[in-house]
Amino acid sequence: MGTSDYYGDLAQSLINLGNEASTKVYLSAAPQCPFPDQLLGPALQAVTFDYVWVQFYNNPSCDYSSGVSGVTDAWDTWTSVFQSSTLFLGLPASSDAAGSGYISPDDLTSQVLPEIQPSSNYGGIMLWNRFYDVDSEYSEAVKSSV
């Protein structure tokens, strides 16, 4: 694992290059859900990221293994701190795709989404990864609710 030393500088440089070229540069990041993310936290605080794909898996303190409240408490933190960014709930596409944090499609649509969708900066979900999604058909099962 690297350090967080220059991600903020890189993000600002990308924004500056876009401004010089009169073009919009979209910034996105995929931090771990424990707040603040060790590696990306400083960059996320340095500039506004357009899209933040928060990984709500492999982090028992805030993934679904700690229950709906673990997810919603962490979600509320992320959405309140990064109000100018669009946030996505990152999930494993099957129970085999990650060590923890899998949410069945039924639980996602009936328990989790009703709690997080009212956030003004809710953008949807992100699935890890496409291989598992093709096999499990997770996105197909939830797309009408997301």
pLDDT single digits (tens) 37-63? 999 999 999 999 999 999 999 999 999
pLDDT single digits (tens) 89-129? 999 999 999 999 999 999 999 999 999 999 999 999 999 99
Report pTM: 0.93
Cα–Cα distances (Å) from 126 to 9, 43, 72, 90, 121, in that order, read: 26, 21, 16, 4, 15
Q: How many CA atoms lie within 13 A of 21 on its CB side?
A: 9
CA angle (48, 19, 49) in 5-degree steps: 15
Termini Cα distance of the chain: 33
Alpha-carbon 41 to chain mean position: 13
